[in-house]
Structure 1
Amino acid sequence: MVLPEGFVVPPWYLLVPAVVILGGVVALLWAIDPPVTDRSVLAFAPWMMFGAALHVLYKLDAFPPAIEPLFSAPMVYVVTAIVAGIVWIVAVFLHIGGLQPTIARFVGVAGTAFFTVFAMVAILQSIDAGTFDPFWPVIAVVVTGIVTTIAWIALSLWFTDVAATTGATGVLVVFAHTLDGVTTAIGYDVLAVGEDVPLSLLILEAGESLPTAEYVGAGWLFVLVKVVLGLVILGLFREYVEEQPRQARTLLALVAAVGLGPAVHNVLLFIVT
């Protein structure tokens, strides 16, 4: 199996309009060519988290059956990109019209609001159902903060040019993939949660076959791979960021989203189930 479990292709009458709308949003963004800086990338972090909240609500059967496939994987990424893209376009025009001091602030505040509302819906449902439990998610976030700090300090000391060039975008990439690794490890080793992604499962099984598995579990290897992967990607992007910062930071934002989306999905799912 190559595709993750739970991979759903929605009906054509939902898929086609969503793809067409996404194409229109991307085309308009291409035409207006908004700036992409460290602040821009950080402003989109809540939107990555918003997509995760939508998918958790999908797993909780919170959406009407008619539109439920829109929030399955991978369709939820398309829906999130559409909403975030439209907000980005609105932010650009508000900034041009002098109604907003910066584009990034509007995008970030709107994303935070969207994520907060939908995450709270999931949390309130779990409280009503008696399944609310934030212990391991909090542990995961704390451990991720510590590991990210250590990794970034190491990068800054040994590859100072990479850390200086990628900046806050680089920190987000490392944090996102570290959180994905830590939450996956906790889910696999502590909470007995199965892994849907075949490649991730392969790494976890490799960790399980090591002599250390008896003492520290299998997930540590996955965490290590994710942290190293994030750092290596930053190293490979250093020259690209220097030469074409806008395109490079856009791609790094996508790299961060690939880690932060599943990671926040894990955190929320652990909290509510």
Structure 2
Amino acid sequence: MVLPEGFVLPPWYLLVPLLVILAGIVALLWVLEPPVTDRTVLAFAPWMMFGSALHVLYQLGAYPENVETLFATPTVYLVAAAVAGAAWIVAIFLYAGGLQPTIPRFFGIAGTAFFAVFASIILNVSWAEETFNLFWPVIAVIAAGIVTAIAWVALSLWFTDVAKTTSYTGALVVFGHTLDGVSTAIGYDVIGVEESVPLSALLLEAGGSLPIAEYVGAGWLFVLVKAALALVILGLFKEYVEDAPQQARIVLSGIAAVGLGPGVHNVLLFIAT
């Protein structure tokens, strides 16, 4: 099995219009050529989290049956990208009209507001169903923050030029993948959740087969690999960021989303279930 469990595509009459809308948004952004700085990438972060919230609500059965497949994997990423892209375009025009001091400011605030609304729905649903639990989600975020700090300090000391060049964008990549690793490890070792991604499941099984797993669990290897992989990617992207900073930051933001999205999804799911 190559695809993760729960991989569902919506019917063509939902998928095709979504792809057309998304293609139009991408084309317009291509024409507008908005600047992509570290602040822009940080403004992407709440939109990545917004996509996670949409998918958790799908897993909780919160959507009407005729449109729920739009919020399954992988279409939920397209939906979140379309909404985020539309908000980015609005931010560009507001800035051009002198109504906003910067593009990332409005874009980031809008993303935070979207995420907050849908996260609040998740919290309300879990509270009503008496499944609300913050202990392990908080532990996951704190542990991810600690591991990220250690990894970033190590990168800054031994590969200072990489940390300086990738800056906040690089830090987001490391945190996103570390949060995914830590939350997955907690889910696997503590809560007893089965991993749906085949490659991740192999890493977890490998960690569980080591003698140390009896004392620290199986997930530590997954966390280590995720954090190390993020640092290696930043090293490989150093020259790309120097030569083509805008394009490189867009690609790095996508890499960050692959970690932060699943990580936030795990945290929200722990809260709700």
Query: Shorter-chain TM-score: which interval?
Result: over 0.9
Q: CA RMSD in A?
A: 0.4
What per-residue deviation string (whole Å, max 9, x for no partner) do you get for residues 44-91 of structure 1?
100000000000000001011111111000000000000000000010
Partner residue of 1:216?
Answer: 216
1:36 alignment partner, SS class = coil
In structure 2, list runs of 5 or more residues that go unmatched: none
Partner residue of 2:158?
Answer: 158
Equivalent position amino acid for 2:68 in 1: E
Partner residue of 1:3?
Answer: 3
Partner residue of 2:124?
Answer: 124
- In structure 1, how many angstroms separate the alpha carbons of the residues matched to 2:147 and 2:264? 17
What per-residue deviation string (whole Å, max 9, x for no partner) do you get for residues 204-240 of structure 1?
0000110011110000000000000000000000000
Deviation of 1:241 after TM superposition, in Å, equals: 0.2
- In structure 1, how many angstroms separate the alpha carbons of the residues matched to 2:261 and 2:176? 8
Equivalent position amino acid for 2:150 in 1: I
Partner residue of 1:71?
Answer: 71
| Identical amino acids, percent of aligned pairs | 72
- Counterpart check, 1:90 vs 2:73: no
- In structure 2, how many angstroms separate the alpha carbons of the residues matched to 1:146 and 1:181? 13
Equivalent position amino acid for 1:4 in 2: P
Partner residue of 1:109?
Answer: 109
Partner residue of 1:40?
Answer: 40
Partner residue of 1:148?
Answer: 148
Partner residue of 1:225?
Answer: 225
Report the TM-score, using the length of structure 2 for normalisation.
1.00
- Counterpart check, 1:188 vs 2:185: no
- In structure 2, how many angstroms separate the alpha carbons of the residues matched to 1:124 and 1:98? 38
For these two proteins, the number of residue pairs brought into alignment is 273
Report the TM-score, using the length of structure 1 for normalisation.
1.00
- In structure 1, how many angstroms separate the alpha carbons of the residues matched to 2:195 and 2:263? 13
Equivalent position amino acid for 2:88 in 1: W
Partner residue of 1:262?
Answer: 262
- In structure 1, how many angstroms separate the alpha carbons of the residues matched to 2:38 and 2:85? 17
1:190 alignment partner, SS class = helix
What per-residue deviation string (whole Å, max 9, x for no partner) do you get for residues 167-218 of structure 1?
0000000000000000000000000001000000000000011001111000
